[in-house]
């Protein structure tokens, strides 16, 4: 029996053997980060993708049409695949209470236009997501109000909220006790739209400042857009967030979109406009200078817009 501070004989032999082994033959000491095999089939680091973040998951199924045609049949196949993934919907004491599972699909634009009580902009120029809200109605409304305020602060437009139809007839008691309220949010950007509204008001003989006041009182109101509207009205674009830096961020987003084959027509359009502005020497102006593009396209002279 070894005394404190001494190694057992077997450990001493193992330590000597390890020191005698060539460095390249030793197994890598664990650092808490998965190591990649030399013959790994994973692609190299590129864009936003880093292979070191790859890890095993509970299970993922992928269903698609080889020609990119959207259909409800793909949704049916996706649900069928999901129901066959027993571990991802792990069961507890109740066989009808799982740990949560679902499917991710393309935005069904045509379907939304049939069921929504409000108008949507062109496909690809809005975003949508499902909110899991408190079950108590007053608390759910309060949470929605907080989300709405953040959206306005970010200079985005709230298109509307949709109450989702659900079928909870088959869920267990434990799942029912924790069931949230489901609402669907639709939103869009407003900066370019505001530039177009101000230019249209100017050419139509309306007072652009009154247009700013009217828009600011609606769902498109926010401190950011109020500030940008002043730039657009005065045709001066002091340093805020430089257009060339914003274009650099868009390049990252566009590269990721190409990698994952996601159509982003609005982002591509903004990138094209910003490329034009940068080429004309406006890259160090605030990104609200995209109003220059709209004004010049409408043959509005440079300078302040007045009613």
User: Which DSSP string do the residues of 38-77 spell out, in sequence order?
Assistant: TT--SPPPBTTB-GGG----S-------TT----HHHHHH
Any domain includes 12: no
pLDDT value at residue 145? 92
**Contact criterion met (CB below 8 Å) for 284 and 300:** no
199 shares its domain with 149: no
CATH number at residue 289: 1.10.1040.10
Any domain includes 205: yes
Domain edge (last residue) among 138, 172, 189: 189
112 shares its domain with 196: no
pLDDT in tens, 184-227: 999 887 665 666 666 767 777 777 777 767 666 554 455 556 66
258 shares its domain with 211: yes
pLDDT value at residue 59? 67
179 shares its domain with 205: no
Annotated catalytic residue, options 58, 64, 83, 191:
58
DSSP letters, 2-26, are: PPTTPPPHHHHHHHHHHHHS-GGGS
290 shares its domain with 199: yes
Look up 58 and say whether it is catalytic. Answer: yes
Any domain includes 117: yes
Structure token pair of residue 145: 């109000």
Phi, psi dihedrals of residue 186, rounded to the nearest 5°:
-125, 130
80 shares its domain with 132: no
List the beta bridge partners of residue 133.
181
148 shares its domain with 195: no
164 vs 209: CA distance, rounded Å = 39
Q: Among 22-26, 210-214, 250-254, which is the least confidently predicted range?
A: 22-26
Domain that holds residue 64: 60-89
Any domain includes 42: no
209 shares its domain with 165: no
Any domain includes 222: yes
pLDDT in tens, 84-127: 776 554 556 777 877 677 888 888 899 999 999 888 877 777 88
75 shares its domain with 122: no
172 shares its domain with 239: no
157 vs 260: CA distance, rounded Å = 26
DSSP letters, 165-209, are: P---TT--HHHHHT--EEEEEEEEE-HHHHHHHHHHHHHTT--HH
Number of domains in the chain: 3
% of the chain with per-residue pLDDT over 70: 71
147 vs 184: CA distance, rounded Å = 12
Any domain includes 31: no
pLDDT value at residue 197? 65
143 three-state secondary structure: helix
Alpha-carbon Rg for the chain in angstroms: 28
The reported pTM is 0.48
Domain edge (last residue) among 169, 189, 209: 189
130 shares its domain with 227: no
Structure token pair of residue 275: 């490329």
Any domain includes 10: no
291 vs 229: CA distance, rounded Å = 10
pLDDT in tens, 206-216: 777 777 676 66
Any domain includes 55: no
79 shares its domain with 139: no
Domain edge (last residue) among 156, 189, 222: 189
pLDDT in tens, 164-186: 999 989 888 888 898 999 999 99
Tell which wins on pLDDT, 217 or 67. 67
């Amino acid at each position: 029996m070894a005394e404190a501070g001494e190694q057992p004989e077997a450990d001493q032999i193992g330590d000597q053997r390890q020191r005698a082994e060539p460095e390249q033959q030793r197994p890598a000491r664990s650092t808490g980060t998965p190591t990649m095999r030399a013959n790994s089939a994973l692609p190299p680091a590129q864009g936003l993708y880093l292979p070191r973040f790859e890890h095993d998951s509970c299970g993922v199924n992928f269903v698609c049409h080889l020609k990119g045609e959207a259909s409800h049949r793909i949704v049916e196949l996706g649900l069928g695949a999901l129901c066959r993934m027993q571990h991802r919907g792990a069961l507890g004491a109740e066989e009808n209470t799982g740990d949560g599972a679902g499917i991710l699909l393309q935005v069904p634009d045509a379907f939304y236009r049939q069921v929504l009580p409000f108008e949507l902009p062109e496909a690809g120029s809005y975003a949508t997501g499902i909110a899991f809200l408190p079950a108590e109605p007053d608390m759910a409304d309060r949470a929605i109000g907080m989300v709405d305020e953040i959206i306005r602060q970010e200079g985005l437009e709230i298109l509307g909220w949709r109450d989702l139809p659900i079928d909870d007839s088959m869920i267990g008691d434990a799942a029912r006790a924790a069931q949230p309220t489901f609402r669907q949010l639709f939103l869009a950007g407003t900066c370019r739209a505001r530039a177009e509204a101000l230019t249209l008001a100017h050419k139509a003989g309306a007072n652009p400042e009154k247009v700013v006041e009217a828009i600011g009182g609606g769902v498109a109101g926010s401190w950011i857009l109020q500030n940008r509207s002043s730039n657009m009205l005065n045709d001066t674009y002091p340093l805020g967030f430089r257009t060339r830096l914003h274009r650099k961020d868009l390049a990252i987003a566009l590269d990721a979109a190409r990698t994952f084959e996601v159509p982003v027509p609005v982002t591509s359009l903004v990138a094209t406009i910003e490329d034009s502005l940068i080429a004309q020497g406006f890259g160090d102006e605030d990104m609200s200078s995209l109003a220059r593009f709209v004004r010049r396209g409408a043959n509005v002279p440079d300078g302040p817009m007045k009613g």
